[in-house]
Amino acid sequence: MDLQLAIIGGGSIGEALVAGVTRSKQYPPNKIIVSEPLKTRREHLLEQFSVNVTADNSLAVQRAEIVVMAVKPQFYFSSLSPMVESLTEEHLLISVAAGIGTGEIEGFLKKEIPIIRVMTNTPLLIGQGATVLARGKYAVDKHLAKAKKLFLDLGLAIELAENDLNAVTALSGSGPAYLYLILEALIEAGVRIGLTRELSRQLMLQTMLGSAKMILETGKHPAELKESVTSPGGTTAAALEHLEAKGIRGALIQAVVKAYERAEELSLMRE
């Protein structure tokens, strides 16, 4: 092994990982190899990051210690198949595919290869992901530490048990879509009351960003910060009363529950 990190799949997640680890200098570009079937993507990654590129998954695995599977679930096992012979117990396999459990991968490989399963979300692409990692049967502390370090360069990284990953999928995996829907509605509300769409967009994006930072930096509960904005009989109180009457709190909770139930159904379908 003359390289350190192999990424199988040079799409958006693969590129985000390359960008994160090269930006943080965790791995130098000459120690990274990306295996990607599309020539245009290989050329882009080579030009943008000066990493090694190949279309041969097996070659990528033979040359690196850590292997990240960053391919779509429907292509997962067809991409993994050419690598089986090359993978050894000395490798660490990090799997980013949604819905594919470590037990399923271990059964396919029929080897005692340490696997770390990862559930992340799309803000990973700008270095602000919320990532949860779960160990497979053969992964120990040193393997988790290596995987966690990789994703800490791209936002939050937390270890949980694998049976918690469907809940994570429903909450933070799908979470950006919930927030985008809320933002979309609030921007439209600004237009309805006379602001330009661009001004409404700017105000709401900064408001959401600032609100998240307020929670992070003060350590206060969202309810406490909500109360600090809400004067008795004022505009915020009137708005919140309407939202509660329309059941927004219950609707959001039920949305996450529905997403969780669907994640559970999809997991059962794979068994």
Please tell me whether the overall predicted TM-score, pTM, comes out greater than 0.85 for this model. Answer: yes
Whether residues 194 and 227 share a domain: the answer is yes
Assess contact for 129 and 154: CB atoms under 8 A: yes
What number of other Cβ atoms are within 10 A of residue 225's Cβ?
14
The pair of structure tokens assigned to 37 is 């079937």
Whether residues 141 and 86 share a domain: the answer is yes
Number of structural domains the chain divides into: 2
Separation between Cα atoms, residue 69 and residue 80, nearest integer Å = 8
Whether residues 144 and 34 share a domain: the answer is yes
For position 36, which CATH number holds? 3.40.50.720
- Residue finishing a domain among 118, 139, 162: 162
Whether residues 20 and 140 share a domain: the answer is yes
Residue 128 inside a domain? The answer is: yes
Integer CA distances (angstroms), 198 to 176, 182, 212, in order = 21, 16, 21
In 3D space, the residue among 248, 230, 249 whose CA is nearest the CA of residue 238 turns out to be 230
Residue 167 inside a domain? The answer is: no
Residue 236 inside a domain? The answer is: yes
Separation between Cα atoms, residue 2 and residue 86, nearest integer Å = 14
Q: What is the pLDDT of residue 174?
A: 95
Whether residues 84 and 184 share a domain: the answer is no
DSSP state of 173: I
Whether residues 157 and 184 share a domain: the answer is no
For position 244, which CATH number holds? 1.10.3730.10
Residue 123 inside a domain? The answer is: yes
Residue 52 inside a domain? The answer is: yes
Q: Is the dihedral of CA 98, 102, 103, 104 positive or negative?
A: positive
**Torsion from C-alpha of 226, 230, 236, 239, nearest 10 degrees:** 70
Q: What is the pLDDT of residue 153?
A: 85
Q: What is the pLDDT of residue 271?
A: 63
Q: What is the pLDDT of residue 98?
A: 84
Domain that holds residue 12: 5-162
What number of other Cβ atoms are within 10 A of residue 39's Cβ?
10
Q: What is the pLDDT of residue 268?
A: 79
Residue-level pLDDT, tens digit, the chain, 271 residues: 677 999 999 998 899 899 988 988 889 999 999 999 999 999 999 999 999 999 999 999 998 999 999 998 889 999 999 999 999 999 999 999 888 999 999 999 999 999 999 999 989 988 899 999 999 999 999 999 999 999 998 899 999 999 999 999 999 999 999 999 999 999 999 999 999 999 999 999 999 999 999 999 999 999 999 999 999 999 999 999 999 999 999 999 999 999 999 989 888 776 6
Whether residues 105 and 208 share a domain: the answer is no
